[in-house]
Amino acid sequence: MIQVGVIGTGGMGGRHARNLAHKTPNAKVVAVMDVDVPRAEEIAGDCGGAKVFADLDSIVADPDVQALVIASPDPFHAEAVMACLKAGKPVLCEKPLAVTIAEAKEILDTEVASGRRLVQLGFMREYDVPHQALKALLDSGDLGQPVLFRGVHVGERFAEPRTIEDVIINSVAHDIHSARWLLQQEFTQVYTQWVRDVVDRPETCRLFLGQMAFKDGTLGVIEMNTATGYGYQVDVEITGVAGSARTSPASAPVVKQRRKQFQPIDPDWLVRFDEAYKREVQDWVLSLLAGQPTGPTVWDGYVAMVVADAFVRSAKTGHPQVVPDLERPA
Ligand code: NAI
């Protein structure tokens, strides 16, 4: 049995807490923490009466808490991961690992110095069945050498207009990891173009279009539309020299009815990736019982941050940017 504490009990933290409490054998949610205490109390009740904390240090130090999930807003991830590392407790941290390269590097160096893997990153597309099927096809070699990665990641409408930095660091981070994981290649160059969202706010982004090149010469493009008006979708298409393959676009079937053919589109990530979120925490708990996490690493989080930073620099300068060649610690 792994006794888990959940930091941040909003949309994602609430989902992880309930999945751990009700869908994960060998896991128990024993504590939750949120600056919004009534929110934490509600989730604690849903999880069968977990302890409620209002500050980070207390939940990390609680002797009943053996492992933690971080699902607070992005700027608070780095401090929370560092607290878990210092306490020697395993942690599943939502993406992004941090919001600056310096913070991500500090976490990487601290974990490496500790001599054991404690951190897993929430790049949960690795647990999505359509993505796994595409990965298996690629790994079989049937598509031949890849020449193009196309990632489409679109949302219906976020509550507030988003800055270009937030779109890249918070959302495109998923697509950056997808490309690295599926192609098993590192980025060498990126180029950002984008369409503004609010006319008199030049920092806001409605549509991000990123181009990229990888070490082996494969090219790629990522499209992130923050306001489709029609729903949420994540698609990946990989073209190889011997064919191309694309993930299924939605969880619902294609319907033919009254002379129309249609496929309902998911409203958001909580619906589209419902199964993947369950499988992610189930796998995480099993891996901890076996000794250490086996999912996406601190290294993956750090590299995603370095690539995201290059996309941000390209957005600001209007020029393609080189992605530094990084040496992975042994
Ligand atoms: P949310 O706004 O629904 O929830 C955030 C919660 O954190 C709120 O309850 C808020 O009161 C609490 N909070 C604020 N400051 C805090 C602090 N210092 N310490 C602890 N809790 C604090 O946001 P949402 O959508 O749940 O996102 C949370 C994280 O999950 C973000 O980092 C986001 O990037 C990530 N996320 C990941 C997704 C994925 O597919 N892997 C999907 C959606 C979000």
pLDDT digit string (tens) for 177-188? 999 999 999 999
Q: Does the pTM of the predicted model rise above 0.85?
A: yes
CA of 5 to the centre of ligand 1 (A): 15
**Residue 224 pLDDT > 80:** yes
Instruction: Tell which one of 18, 56, 57, 94 to mutate to probe ligand 1, the residue whose CB is within 8 A of the most ligand atoms.
Output: 94
pLDDT at 248: 77
For ligand 1, whether the C-beta of 9 sits within 6 Å is yes
For ligand 1, whether the C-beta of 122 sits within 6 Å is yes
pLDDT at 129: 94
Q: pLDDT tens across 82-113, in order?
A: 999 999 999 999 999 999 999 999 999 999 99
**Alpha-carbon span 228 to 231, nearest angstrom:** 6
